[in-house]
Structure 1
């Protein structure tokens, strides 16, 4: 019995590597004629089945049916109850009760109930080979912290135990086309939970509040860019660059505050705030030009004190906004590993 004939038949039945099955079948027929071996029926059947399989593979690839199949498979895997199904504004719990590690299943719950995370944004990474965990984490850090203000515009209204987390692709899910990063709010305590929605976007504020928060956004985004080095001594150049960014952000904030006509009850408090912010802008600018650590710390300290001065609280109170300051010096939290892979 020709082993090549049997192999051709098996590949033909399985529709696996049809081109190989066809070649084996033709070779088997030639050897059977020369050597008088048995198995001609297997070889012929293998050739026929392999030819049919080859035709089907060609048709599938040319019409895009293969892509449709995998898209359908992926969509089914991303149905309700999975991390892939989460959308902006939804709250959920995880089986482990944690926003660290790897997860697939999640349970969507009303935000009024106790939950582990609340989705505030999502975005897709570009196609290509898997960039690695480090590169994905950097992309999530850069975009998620920048996107939070569109969902929770007033950072002062966020509880002190809330920080940014994210769901990111794994190497395995990347191979199925997963490119999405989902940005979340979660508790800074790995085992802590949240209750109630944190959403406070522009539609929830009046015109004066909205303008004030837009102006304050300049400072918030600059503060997010604090260097990774915990000590200024470890990266004085980086901290000087950051101080320059804060100075420019304060310039933008002051310009927007000055350009708005405030209601009578808020006009004087906002004017007092802009005076402090102008002084802060000068101090941060001097910190950016500091020749040594002592000079940097001197101007940084004065600038920081002016940024968190009581005039900000007074202006916010006059506008009916939250009056509990965020911890600007706390850095980007969420633990050592603020990302969950899915």
Structure 2
């Protein structure tokens, strides 16, 4: 993701040290060698007497105007030329009024600042300023990595976050071996659309929706995810968006702020065999349809919406049946798979009837039968034959999945 690099070490406002060392203060009219002062003349000699009122041992020089010095410095550095020009003009007025020195410095600073103003105008007209900014932006992009983020993370990377926290702002992370303890594991990256910054809430919603969808491509078997694992993400900030950052990084992390992960959570085509992948791909057809349920919890509140959902379920189960029947299963898997496919077909018929229900009561009747046929526990025998996880995910009282991975229902066949 793209978050700007951290600023340098800063002192709190108001805590800067004084510009000069602290010297002892003397009583008015006294000095370091006056009678009664904190210091006495060395070797016990007679103290020096203070100078008489109105006289000084030497002629005091006329002070130099401070603004004249500032104008000269800005002119030499060619920094803020317009400011140097103004300071030089004010310095000349003060010098004339106060009788101070520094007229040459003020004039010199104004001359050099005038040259700086001319160069600035030429740069703006010819596009030199744009070339400078483009170079600066390109350098910033390079420092953030090819992914356009402050730290470039790839799918499969395991990381430790600053302070071991996956919330708040992050300026940098450490990539560590997945075999050891770590704070998070990256399972996907995606780019948001160009345009103006959509807002914090919109960026978070986009990351939430897409990351929970992409987790199945990395951890295909949601049953294998620990119960204390959920989805986290790095997103662009308003500041990094201005520098071209559009990347969202999706990660698995521990729901316990003090907890960590050990070992990789990856289970996809790189770690599973062909039979396991074929089964899980078919299962995801049902999971996707299950996750498309209407927002209204009760059928009475949205019967048309629930009927459309039932129709999606019916079509997903039909496709799943075809996928499972079309794969050549090993002998040890063929028997349990045939029984599973039979239950899927029975469930599909009930979902089709629910899609044609005339009233909520009729919908509920077919819905309950359909769900019994695809109860997750009916898949345990097939999963065991395939060598996959065999413990169904736990659910909270609201029906949410407590197996990890956030919003996935965990229901599959």
Where on the TM-score scale, by shorter chain, does this alignment land: which range?
Answer: 0.7 to 0.9
Match for residue 177 of structure 1 among 244, 264, 267? 244
Distance of 1:143 and 1:136 partners within structure 2: 11
SS of 2:201's partner is helix
* Residue number in structure 2 paired with 1:195: 262
Map Cα deviations across residues 53-100 of structure 1 (whole Å, 9 max, x no partner).
3334535356x4422312322443569xx9633221111222343333
Q: Which has the higher helix share?
A: 1
Instruction: Indicate how the Cα distance of structure 1 residues 313 and 56 shifts in structure 2: closer, same or farther if over 3 A, else same.
Output: same
Instruction: Indicate how the Cα distance of structure 1 residues 133 and 236 shifts in structure 2: closer, same or farther if over 3 A, else same.
Output: farther
Q: Report if aligned partners of 1:13, 1:49 keep a CA contact under 8 Å in 2.
A: no
Alignment of 1:300-319 (within 5 A): 300-319=367-386
Distance of 1:276 and 1:335 partners within structure 2: 27
Instruction: Indicate how the Cα distance of structure 1 residues 253 and 72 shifts in structure 2: closer, same or farther if over 3 A, else same.
Output: same
SS of 2:164's partner is coil
Match for residue 363 of structure 2 among 290, 296, 300? 296
TM-score normalised over the length of structure 1: 0.77
Alignment of 1:255-270 (within 5 A): 255-270=322-337
Q: What is the deviation of 1:159? A: 1.9
1:84 maps onto 2:162 in alignment: no
Q: What is the deviation of 1:189? A: 3.5
Q: What is the deviation of 1:294? A: 3.3
Q: Report if aligned partners of 1:12, 1:53 keep a CA contact under 8 Å in 2.
A: no
Distance of 1:60 and 1:249 partners within structure 2: 59
1:210 maps onto 2:210 in alignment: no
SS of 1:100's partner is coil
* Residue number in structure 1 paired with 2:233: 166
Q: Which structure ranks higher in relative contact order (CA pairs < 8 Å, sequence separation ≥ 6)?
A: 1
* Residue number in structure 2 paired with 1:32: none
Counting matched residue pairs gives 317
Match for residue 281 of structure 1 among 348, 351, 356? 348
Distance of 1:310 and 1:335 partners within structure 2: 21
1:60 maps onto 2:128 in alignment: yes
Q: What is the deviation of 1:124? A: 0.8
Q: Report if aligned partners of 1:91, 1:116 keep a CA contact under 8 Å in 2.
A: yes
Q: Which moved more, 1:273-282 or 1:133-142?
A: 133-142
Instruction: Indicate how the Cα distance of structure 1 residues 124 and 297 shifts in structure 2: closer, same or farther if over 3 A, else same.
Output: same
Q: What is the deviation of 1:263? A: 1.7
Q: What is the deviation of 1:321? A: 1.9
Map Cα deviations across residues 188-245 of structure 1 (whole Å, 9 max, x no partner).
3444322110011113222222221221121222233344555556655544433333
Instruction: Indicate how the Cα distance of structure 1 residues 98 and 251 shifts in structure 2: closer, same or farther if over 3 A, else same.
Output: farther
Alignment of 1:1-342 (within 5 A): 14=78, 16=80, 44-57=111-124, 58-61=126-129, 64-76=131-143, 84-229=151-296, 236-327=303-394, 329-330=399-400
Q: What is the deviation of 1:42? A: 5.7
Q: Report if aligned partners of 2:159, 2:174 keep a CA contact under 8 Å in 1.
A: yes
Instruction: Indicate how the Cα distance of structure 1 residues 42 and 309 shifts in structure 2: closer, same or farther if over 3 A, else same.
Output: closer
SS of 2:230's partner is strand
SS of 1:102's partner is coil
Q: Any unmatched runs of 5+ in structure 2?
A: 1-66, 90-102, 408-413
Instruction: Indicate how the Cα distance of structure 1 residues 211 and 225 shifts in structure 2: closer, same or farther if over 3 A, else same.
Output: same
Q: Report if aligned partners of 1:226, 1:331 keep a CA contact under 8 Å in 2.
A: no
* Residue number in structure 1 paired with 2:94: none
Q: What is the deviation of 1:305? A: 2.5
Instruction: Indicate how the Cα distance of structure 1 residues 193 and 255 shifts in structure 2: closer, same or farther if over 3 A, else same.
Output: same
Distance of 1:187 and 1:289 partners within structure 2: 43
Q: Report if aligned partners of 2:144, 2:152 keep a CA contact under 8 Å in 1.
A: no
SS of 2:231's partner is strand
Distance of 1:190 and 1:249 partners within structure 2: 38
Q: Report if aligned partners of 2:377, 2:392 keep a CA contact under 8 Å in 1.
A: no
C-alpha RMSD of the superposition: 3.7
